[in-house]
């Protein structure tokens, strides 16, 4: 059964790649690329902090995580 799921996933990836070949790619400027990298990094950090908050108990560490998450969300908002 797992093998069937895997092959369906591969077929879907191949179909998606074929569809993208027909589309024109948008060229990003170096500044846009850097902004996307920053955004991706911040989003990854937010995900990690949210996961830690789910397993964290009450206390100082939880407060630190919540403050850090607010800071990261503010940075995301500034990036646009």
pLDDT in tens, the chain (80 residues): 455 555 567 777 777 777 766 656 678 888 888 999 999 999 999 999 999 999 988 889 999 999 999 999 999 999 87
Cβ atoms of 66 and 53 within 8 Å: the answer is: yes
Length of the chain: 80
Q: Is residue 19 part of a domain?
A: no
Look at residue 18 and tell me if it is in a domain: no
Whether residue 10 is contained in a domain is answered as no
Instruction: State the Cα–Cα distance between residues 11 and 26, nearest whole angstrom.
Output: 25
pLDDT computed for residue 18 by the predictor: 73
What is the rounded CA–CA span in Å between residue 70 and residue 27? 32
Residue 79 within a domain: yes
Give how many domains the chain has, as a whole number. Answer: 1
Q: Is residue 21 in a domain?
A: no
Q: What is the pLDDT at residue 63?
A: 93
| Domain range enclosing 55 | 31-80
């Amino acid at each position: 059964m797992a093998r069937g799921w895997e092959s369906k996933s591969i077929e879907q990836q191949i179909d998606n790649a074929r569809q993208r070949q027909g589309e024109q790619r948008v060229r990003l400027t170096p500044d846009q690329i850097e902004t996307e990298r920053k955004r991706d990094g911040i989003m990854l950090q937010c995900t990690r902090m949210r996961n830690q908050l789910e397993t964290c108990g009450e206390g100082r560490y939880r407060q630190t995580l919540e403050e850090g998450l607010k800071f990261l969300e503010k940075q995301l908002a500034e990036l646009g």
